[in-house]
Chains A and B, each alone.
Chain A
């Protein structure tokens, strides 16, 4: 795991090319503290900051093929490198190293840009083919590893994080108002758009090919689901067979993710997914598995009881770190600095404390349960959408809306509410049933409530911009032919997962402490299997992740295999309104700072802050608005106001 950066073209800047690449790499040095390497040619610059995990001795980068005509700067892991290497050697190819990076060079020599289709891994890389004068950028299928690029005066610059691009003279940080509108609708900008004007991200499962003839960006893999009515049988026999296939594949996905020359640990949330991954890992690890978790002082968020049950069941050597509201307030600006975009929840902040815990214990690699909710239909939203469809068929029913209570047993206050309010809050009547975004409309509507705080100027700039319309238009042609659950899963897997979960809550907060997350549920074989499984076997009645629970029965204690999902949540606005919140964190919510940035109505924000400070209850809408506004203001302070000066502090605790 590492950081990469570089350029293709002739920068023609005051700063020499090599020094420029060095500066870019320094900006992402936290991703790879073990070594740095550079390759600068006539019209190419490649830089690399290395976190040594595999082939500690000979894996230096950038790496070249035998005749030095192809160079690569690689971030990530190829989990099937053992198999690929054997296959290549059988075909008579010789290897100079035992590193997985060399696999890409060799595959590229045989297949060209299609080399990525053979790789099972999480990666982002830049490859330079000197003979063809061709730069290839590529990103893994699910979007685990990040890659950004921008053009200035005919030169293409790229890097693992935007902060490296901001080192290029002439590239500055300016918030894209459309991106802000999208974040205040979806939680993330619609890729390739980023929070930064004129800076794009390479979309997951895409390659970019640039040569003297031009630039092409194209997908090399797509997520697909069966057509409605063609999902296959879901009787008991099919269920047993699928459960076995899931178990088999999950074990294999975990097994190849344990490949490393350094010890691999695991995050344990206490829920089904991370428990399942830890249980799977234990089958392949001879020594005692090391696990890490977060605890909260508030019972509303804390899961330590379930974590301890899992630790006892698996016999892992466990460490936890307690995260208070004050810790969240203190860590939040770092979460923005590393995540590089405004966010609507504080959840990334505690994960900085967790990756720091792993780092302090000497771990560079951890397995996590991320992805199971997308692939096997675990989110409450899937159940909610199913219930809304159920209610819509009999809008006058007073009993049907009562089912919404069962969806959120962990939300205080919901249990007392009447059928009519429940129906209204969960959007039982929202949206035509054939709206492609039907499943997400209540969430999107609640989130967009935070736009009420946009300033008059920002509203004028946005004009009639409609983020939902843009999302609808970006959907694949096949989308309309899928089962409603598949549609909802696609929206989570293709958008929220790379746009927020794997980014703000994933790569960025882990790499802030040079920790690499590995996600067995996001092995593309598991993802493809999950997409093929009939909807009834995933969401069985209102039992989420039904088929995964079936598979889990053989690996986990029944109490954990059957536990209802509790989403990972952390205190939001309340973390910033108590006496323990550092003043410098919320200073950017003052009228002067708000006016200088110009995004929000200072009067309205003042009233919101006062309400959050005084109120006993802070609802979804107010939490979303508060955290969104605060993070946007912190983004402004960190990137736009600070210019290119983006120093990263690596010590948080």
Chain B
């Protein structure tokens, strides 16, 4: 489950923010902001993707770098939402 989430998130980020192939992927913990991969519109793209792909609803207060700024953070956030929904 977690591996599946990570695969989907990684693919979305690679397809939409990474573009260049000579950049050999992105590390799990790498900051998307520091890598210059994300701007104010990309955040909305990311939120729209998470909501449609994982059936989440994101509150404004959840749209913060702590939840979204690396693949690891995004996966943890998605898994956390699912855990809350399942409980």
Interface residues of A (CB under 8 A from B): 411, 413-414, 416-418, 420-421, 424-425, 445-446, 449, 452-453, 456, 601, 603-604, 607-608, 611, 615-622
> Which of B15, B19, B21, B60 is within 8 Å of A418, CB to CB?
B60
Q: Contacts A446-B39, A615-B45, A621-B39 known; A416 to B63 CB distance under 8 Å? A: yes
B44–A617 contact, CB under 8 A? yes
Asked if B65 is at the interface of the complex by the 8 Å CB criterion, the answer is yes
Asked if B61 is at the interface of the complex by the 8 Å CB criterion, the answer is yes
CB distance from B17 to the nearest CB of A (A): 9
A420–B21 contact, CB under 8 A? no
Q: How far is the CA of A425 from the CA of B44 in the complex (A)?
A: 13
- When distances are taken between beta carbons in the complex, the residues of chain B under 8 Å from A425 are 39-40
> Which of A413, A421, A604 is within 8 Å of B65, CB to CB?
A421
> Which of B19, B21, B45 is within 8 Å of A619, CB to CB?
B45
B20–A617 contact, CB under 8 A? no
A421–B63 contact, CB under 8 A? yes
Asked if B48 is at the interface of the complex by the 8 Å CB criterion, the answer is yes
Asked if B43 is at the interface of the complex by the 8 Å CB criterion, the answer is yes
Asked if B33 is at the interface of the complex by the 8 Å CB criterion, the answer is yes
> Which of B15, B19, B45, B64 is within 8 Å of A421, CB to CB?
B64
Beyond contacts A445-B36, A608-B19: 20 other A-B pairs, Cβ-Cβ < 8 A, are A413-B41, A417-B40, A417-B43, A417-B63, A418-B63, A420-B64, A425-B40, A452-B20, A601-B22, A604-B19, A604-B20, A604-B21, A607-B15, A611-B15, A616-B45, A617-B42, A617-B48, A620-B39, A621-B42, A622-B41
Q: How many residues of B contact A (CB 8 A)?
A: 22
Interface residues of B (CB under 8 A from A): 15-16, 19-22, 33, 36, 39-45, 48, 60-61, 63-66
CB distance from A405 to the nearest CB of B (A): 11
Residue among B21, B39, B41, B43 with max Cβ neighbours from chain A (10 Å): B41
- When distances are taken between beta carbons in the complex, the residues of chain A under 8 Å from B43 are 417, 421
Give B48's nearest chain A residue, CB to CB.
A616
- When distances are taken between beta carbons in the complex, the residues of chain A under 8 Å from B41 are 413, 617-622
Q: How far is the CA of A453 from the CA of B19 in the complex (A)?
A: 8
Q: How far is the CA of A601 from the CA of B18 in the complex (A)?
A: 13
Give B23's nearest chain A residue, CB to CB.
A452
A to B contact number (C-beta, < 8 Å): 70
Return the 3 tightest CB-CB contacts between A and B, nearest first.
Answer: A619-B41, A604-B19, A418-B64
CB distance from A65 to the nearest CB of B (A): 58
CB distance from A644 to the nearest CB of B (A): 35
Q: How far is the CA of A414 from the CA of B20 in the complex (A)?
A: 27
Give B40's nearest chain A residue, CB to CB.
A425
Q: How far is the CA of A611 from the CA of B18 in the complex (A)?
A: 11
CB distance from A361 to the nearest CB of B (A): 38
B45–A617 contact, CB under 8 A? yes
Q: How far is the CA of A424 from the CA of B63 in the complex (A)?
A: 13
A-B contact pairs, 16 of them (CB 8 A): A411-B40, A413-B44, A417-B60, A418-B65, A421-B65, A425-B39, A452-B20, A601-B21, A604-B19, A611-B16, A618-B41, A619-B41, A619-B45, A620-B39, A621-B39, A621-B41
Q: How far is the CA of A445 from the CA of B39 in the complex (A)?
A: 11
- When distances are taken between beta carbons in the complex, the residues of chain B under 8 Å from A420 are 64-66
- When distances are taken between beta carbons in the complex, the residues of chain B under 8 Å from A411 are 40
CB distance from B59 to the nearest CB of A (A): 10
Q: How far is the CA of A199 from the CA of B33 in the complex (A)?
A: 39
Q: How far is the CA of A316 from the CA of B41 in the complex (A)?
A: 39
Q: Contacts A424-B33, A452-B20, A604-B21 known; A619 to B39 CB distance under 8 Å? A: yes
- When distances are taken between beta carbons in the complex, the residues of chain B under 8 Å from A622 are 41
Q: How far is the CA of A425 from the CA of B63 in the complex (A)?
A: 13
- When distances are taken between beta carbons in the complex, the residues of chain A under 8 Å from B39 are 425, 446, 619-621
Residue among B19, B22, B45 with max Cβ neighbours from chain A (10 Å): B19
A416–B60 contact, CB under 8 A? yes
Q: How far is the CA of A456 from the CA of B15 in the complex (A)?
A: 20
- When distances are taken between beta carbons in the complex, the residues of chain A under 8 Å from B21 are 601, 603-604
CB distance from B19 to the nearest CB of A (A): 4
- When distances are taken between beta carbons in the complex, the residues of chain B under 8 Å from A603 are 21
A449–B36 contact, CB under 8 A? yes
- When distances are taken between beta carbons in the complex, the residues of chain B under 8 Å from A452 are 19-20
- When distances are taken between beta carbons in the complex, the residues of chain A under 8 Å from B48 are 616-617
Q: How far is the CA of A292 from the CA of B12 in the complex (A)?
A: 45
Give A408's nearest chain B residue, CB to CB.
B40
Residue among A418, A604, A611 with max Cβ neighbours from chain B (10 Å): A418
B42–A619 contact, CB under 8 A? yes
Give B58's nearest chain A residue, CB to CB.
A416
Give B46's nearest chain A residue, CB to CB.
A617
Q: How far is the CA of A383 from the CA of B29 in the complex (A)?
A: 34
Q: How far is the CA of A411 from the CA of B43 in the complex (A)?
A: 14
CB distance from A442 to the nearest CB of B (A): 10
CB distance from B16 to the nearest CB of A (A): 6
CB distance from A623 to the nearest CB of B (A): 9
Q: How far is the CA of A603 from the CA of B63 in the complex (A)?
A: 31
CB distance from A270 to the nearest CB of B (A): 25
Give A411's nearest chain B residue, CB to CB.
B40
Q: How far is the CA of A644 from the CA of B20 in the complex (A)?
A: 34
A424–B65 contact, CB under 8 A? yes
Q: How far is the CA of A435 from the CA of B22 in the complex (A)?
A: 31
Q: How far is the CA of A445 from the CA of B16 in the complex (A)?
A: 19
- When distances are taken between beta carbons in the complex, the residues of chain A under 8 Å from B44 are 413, 617
Give A416's nearest chain B residue, CB to CB.
B60
B15–A414 contact, CB under 8 A? no
- When distances are taken between beta carbons in the complex, the residues of chain B under 8 Å from A615 are 16, 45
